[in-house]
Structure 1
Amino acid sequence: MATLPDLEKAQSPPLSTKDDVEKALPTEQEDKPAKNPRGGDAVAPEHLRRNLSARQVSMIAIGGTIGTGLFLGTGRALHTGGPGSLLINYSMVGALVYLVMLCLGEIATEYPQAGSFTTYSGRFVDHAFSFTIGWNYAFNDAISCAGDLTAAQVLMEYWTDRLTWLPSLFFLFFLLGINLMPVHFYGELEYWLSILKVLSVVIFFFLGIAVNAGGNTEHKYIGGQYWTHGAAPFVDGFGGFAKLFVSAAFAYGGTESLGVTAGETKNPIRNIPRVTRSVFWRILIFYISTVIIIGFNVPYDYPNLSTKSTATSPFTLVFQQAGSKAGGSFMNAVILTSVLSAGNHAMFAGARVLYGLAVIRQAPSIFRRTNAQGVPWVSVLAISSVSLLFFGASFLPGGAGQIWTWAQNLVGVSNQLAWLCIGVASFRFRLAWKKQGRTAEQLRYPNPLGVYGGLVIIVATTFIILVQGWTVFRGTFSGVDFVANYIELPIFAGLYLFWRLLKGVRMPSLSQIDLDSGRYIQTEEDEVDDLVRAEREKGRMGWAWRMYGWVA
């Protein structure tokens, strides 16, 4: 692993013997204030604790993605675009997000800091850019958390129509309590909730194959008949296909949590690349295999498929096709836990982004406060308060179902803007790296497309954002759909211009970008961790430990 000479000198001497490992005491990396990328005063140091293991970070990235977008949103997407559009659209967005992960993983390995892509946007682009995406993302995480809580109300209606808001309110305060505890409690809860969701998807996959082959209540082979049924496989042509981009963005949203957790990840030089390489392939397999099973087993015109009810969730329908009377209740319970997990992830991510904004002085300094366990408790309270306000909106006319639909659209577009910002930051980072005479070999985890990776993200994401509202302009103009698809764009532009004019922000030249401050230096604790793992995997049971690491 190549590093800059001055960083190499700063590292502790390697531990080469077992005695060295046993004598070494874990030490925390010194909190050195990172320089302002534009020069001037340094920003305040971070006080988050690196207590998330690779096992937890992997499942956080998976758990933050597998949620209501997959369990409920795929039914609406199938109804809108048909099985062909569903498969192609989710595959395209999946490939884009994988590239986003590679570019983000490259920067996060070098600079594993709180705030993730908001911090990187300020460092490699300009501070107006980081201010804009940071506040946009934090606010939409709060909306996402509220949307998950209102989805819980919809799910409770499967069993009862009385006081369905009460469990959702309890979930909100439960998540608040978890996020105010040391970060490893959050990581452990997310780990086990994610395992439940992953197992449910695996069961659904094999059950779906059996149902399609004839293991259904009618004992009939289904095959690919629903791909030629009615207007399938491409319902409503290009318009139906384009409308799925928002649904796919909502479904895949949360993958970028890899960067959000970087500031609290143990041994980031080793763990962030490992998570980047492995997690998205698992997510891609889960999503692509799932939409294939759904497209082959559920007709796009199934009654009420586009509603938010669990009774018409594609997952529930496949269980019912298999003859499971308890399938509906089982999937409702699983989806309810996924809502809890997604809300937990949104509150965590929103609080960390808000904390990161405070660190770079783009939010009030009070949001930088942490408790003795390194938890940014003020930021957690702020995000949960906004979530509570939007949750209260579910009692207005339209109810929880309408609020969840709007939350899905707003968060989906917000996710796309986050990917766009990651692409811009990656593009500028790679240009600055080359401009200052450094090579790709000096990067600890270079993305394979180099400078072109960020460029592809910029072009592809811009195309998606512009065309996904295609049907708004076709035929009778729909003001509601126009606002849902494009309201984020003027807000984004307005925030950018506001901060740029208020602070007189200028974009630094490539040679002015600081590539040294905040670059992670491997600690003694990291070296001990590496040696312990290497020793464990070299023994007779080394293959078992490697298998455990891959599975866990």
Structure 2
Amino acid sequence: MAVGPTLGTGLFIGAGQALAIGGPASLLISYVFLSLLTYFMATTVAEVAIYSPSRHGSMVANGFRYLPSSLGLATATLRWYSLALLVPYETTTAMVNLGLWKPGSTVAIRLFIITCVIVGFNFLPERTFRGTEQLFTRIKSGTMICLLVLSLSIGMGGATGHDKWGFQYWRKPGAMNEYIARGSLGKFFGLLQCLLHSSVAFIFTPELIVHRAETPVSTSGMEIGDSTDPNIRSELPRTVAYDVVTTAFPYILSSLAMGVMAPYNEPLLSNNGAGGGLSPFVIGINTAKIRILPVTATVAIFLSSVASGRSFLHYSTRTLVALSELGHAPKTFSTRNQWGVPYVATIVTALFALLAFMSVAISSSTVLSYFLVFVNSCGYLSWMVSCVTYRRFRHHLHRRGQSDTYSFSVQPMGTYIGFMVSAILLLANGLVGGPAGPQPGSRASRLVAAYFSIPAFGVIYLGHRFQTMVPYRSHAKEVPINKDAPEGPTGAFHIQRGQPATTPGTSIELEQVWSIAVEA
């Protein structure tokens, strides 16, 4: 699986909340729909990456190539802190998986240990970290396969000695749950909320799939982004399509299996409406009264949470390093120690992990819901900007008279659908915890968590925009511009601070040109 390193509780536990709200049919529909949306968004990002691959990855570089510098910075920063916030999300779900819902010193001690393990792994030499990543990926993939086989065995009656369960929970209490309202409208709201809760398992999956395909890891254990395969343009479309399928297919099977393992009216799925609860797989194993397996499944899911947390910290740290190396963040963030670890960026990014300690004062289930809606809104924003980047990229090619670039069959329609759906999901994200639904925390807190990413994105954009508009004087010599050179992405020969100084595909930034002029 392309997203094996980040395969975690978004699937094992996050889906339990979705099942409790929408029911098994809504959960299955949500996973099928999100898998299709993932393909649309992955191809949107991939088409831009095929034309101008970057060793830093399209998640950062292409935003600055085809968008205004302020919007590119806001998008890259959004992806950095969103991936970083998935670290406390994973540590909090680890607590929920262990049944530690009530705040107290026990939660604090265990959170401290888990956080130290996650951060400690990220200070290992790159070769060692990659080796452990492969190990944890095998553990998580094996866990998912074993749970799928076990659910099939229980459903067919081969593991308990009792009558086979089959799809009895689809009949009673039912295939779709009513949410907020009664009747068909309530089932529609249940499906919509189920879709929102299921999104966390797919958030940033399209970007990560393209990133791993665009900047493959070399056999020598080199870090992602240190080398680019010269044949990447021809292989990337096939790799992206394959990775989407190999990610979506087991996800869809898992959503179907969870509908067999637990009914949507099981209180433990949402901790009696407080937020995150136990995994449907653990609940099903307990109901089947199979010895040892409940503890084994709990430990396996717990390890998945820890492993995903360390992977998300690694990805977010490398995003900050890429920003630094491209000249859009202080150079100190790209400082590395003798083992090649960017320790300054790792320390700064790891500070987000401290947000998990809110569980010391608030129920872990409630904190988990806050993280879920906030990360989801960041992901929807990221997808919308990816669609805008694609349109700017195509406009740039049209102005240059280039039409021979690779294009997926679903494009550009996939981009239009992806933008529209992402906008709708972003606006509907505050639906969580309606009047007749679960109440994870106060209404005001839920709304802040659901929509805070929008003003945060705006502040970063406007702050940088204001900075670039402020006139300033410099004693540096004027850098001559060759007007016979090919036009840049905007079709103009003048250069704006923070934008690329050359055509797409190069990595020379204006900051570098500026520093050369000053030295001259």
TM-score range, shorter chain: 0.7 to 0.9
Alpha carbons of structure 1 residues 474 and 321: separation in structure 2 relative to 1, 3 Å: closer
Alpha carbons 2:45, 2:390 under 8 Å: kept: yes
2:120 paired residue among 140, 161, 177:
177
Alpha carbons 2:22, 2:191 under 8 Å: kept: yes
2:444 paired residue among 476, 479, 496:
479
Residue deviations 1:42-74, cap 9 Å, x none?
Answer: xxxxxxxxxxxxxxxx55x2231x211111111
Q: How many residues align?
A: 454
1:249 alignment partner AA: S
2:280 paired residue among 301, 307, 314:
314
Aligned with 1:223: secondary structure? Answer: coil
Alpha carbons of structure 1 residues 62 and 334: separation in structure 2 relative to 1, 3 Å: same
Alpha carbons 2:157, 2:163 under 8 Å: kept: yes
State the alpha-carbon separation in 1 of the partners of residues 339 and 466 from structure 2.
Answer: 38
2:208 paired residue among 257, 272, 282:
257
Alpha carbons of structure 1 residues 170 and 273: separation in structure 2 relative to 1, 3 Å: farther
Shift of residue 95, structure 1, vs aligned partner: 1.0
Shift of residue 145, structure 1, vs aligned partner: 0.8
Match of 1:460 in 2: 421
Alpha carbons of structure 1 residues 162 and 294: separation in structure 2 relative to 1, 3 Å: same
Matched, 1:100 2:66: no
1:350 alignment partner AA: S
1:502 paired residue among 444, 449, 467:
467
State the alpha-carbon separation in 2 of the partners of residues 322 and 216 from structure 1.
Answer: 8
Alpha carbons of structure 1 residues 101 and 264: separation in structure 2 relative to 1, 3 Å: farther
Shift of residue 457, structure 1, vs aligned partner: 2.0
Alpha carbons 2:43, 2:408 under 8 Å: kept: yes
2:297 alignment partner AA: M
Match of 1:24 in 2: none
2:403 paired residue among 404, 415, 439:
439
Matched, 1:518 2:506: yes
Match of 2:512 in 1: none
Residue deviations 1:271-313, cap 9 Å, x none?
Answer: 6445423222111111100111111332110132213999832
Alpha carbons 1:183, 1:375 under 8 Å: kept: yes
Match of 1:536 in 2: none
Matched, 1:243 2:193: yes
Write the mapping of 1:136-147 to structure 2, written as runs, cut at 5 A.
Answer: 136-147=78-89
Alpha carbons of structure 1 residues 494 and 115: separation in structure 2 relative to 1, 3 Å: farther
State the alpha-carbon separation in 2 of the partners of residues 311 and 247 from structure 1.
Answer: 13
Match of 2:453 in 1: 488
Match of 2:56 in 1: 114
Shift of residue 383, structure 1, vs aligned partner: 0.5
Alpha carbons 2:209, 2:243 under 8 Å: kept: no
Match of 1:400 in 2: 364
Shift of residue 427, structure 1, vs aligned partner: 2.1
Residue deviations 1:235-281, cap 9 Å, x none?
Answer: 32222222223322211124222355532466274464454232221
* Residue range with higher mean Cα deviation, 271-280 or 305-314: 305-314
Alpha carbons of structure 1 residues 496 and 474: separation in structure 2 relative to 1, 3 Å: farther
Match of 2:325 in 1: 359
Alpha carbons of structure 1 residues 413 and 264: separation in structure 2 relative to 1, 3 Å: farther
Alpha carbons 2:66, 2:489 under 8 Å: kept: no
Alpha carbons of structure 1 residues 346 and 174: separation in structure 2 relative to 1, 3 Å: same
1:431 alignment partner AA: H
1:481 alignment partner AA: R
Alpha carbons of structure 1 residues 346 and 146: separation in structure 2 relative to 1, 3 Å: same
What is the CA RMSD across the aligned residues, in angstroms?
A: 3.1
2:165 paired residue among 218, 222, 226:
222
Match of 2:129 in 1: 186
Matched, 1:285 2:249: yes
Residue deviations 1:91-145, cap 9 Å, x none?
Answer: 1111111222222233334323326323211211111112212222222222221
Match of 1:15 in 2: none
1:196 paired residue among 124, 134, 139:
139
Matched, 1:294 2:274: no
TM-score of the pair, normalised by structure 2: 0.78
State the alpha-carbon separation in 1 of the partners of residues 110 and 32 from structure 2.
Answer: 36
Residue deviations 1:358-377, cap 9 Å, x none?
Answer: 23333222113234554332
Alpha carbons of structure 1 residues 128 and 350: separation in structure 2 relative to 1, 3 Å: same
1:132 paired residue among 60, 65, 74:
74
Alpha carbons of structure 1 residues 404 and 344: separation in structure 2 relative to 1, 3 Å: same
Matched, 1:378 2:347: no
1:69 alignment partner AA: G
State the alpha-carbon separation in 1 of the partners of residues 114 and 433 from structure 2.
Answer: 36
Match of 1:345 in 2: 311
Q: Percent of counterpart pairs with the same letter?
A: 22
2:11 alignment partner AA: L
State the alpha-carbon separation in 1 of the partners of residues 97 and 248 from structure 2.
Answer: 26
Structure 2, unpaired ranges of 5+: 180-186, 216-224, 471-487, 493-499, 509-520
State the alpha-carbon separation in 1 of the partners of residues 301 and 454 from structure 2.
Answer: 31
Alpha carbons of structure 1 residues 157 and 450: separation in structure 2 relative to 1, 3 Å: closer
Residue deviations 1:505-550, cap 9 Å, x none?
Answer: 9xx8643585444389xxxxxxxxxxxxxxxxxxxxxxxxxxxxxx
Aligned with 2:54: secondary structure? Answer: coil
Alpha carbons 1:447, 1:453 under 8 Å: kept: no
State the alpha-carbon separation in 1 of the partners of residues 403 and 384 from structure 2.
Answer: 25
Alpha carbons of structure 1 residues 105 and 269: separation in structure 2 relative to 1, 3 Å: farther
Match of 2:476 in 1: none
Alpha carbons 2:151, 2:281 under 8 Å: kept: no
Aligned with 1:300: secondary structure? Answer: coil
Match of 2:485 in 1: none
State the alpha-carbon separation in 2 of the partners of residues 132 and 199 from structure 1.
Answer: 38
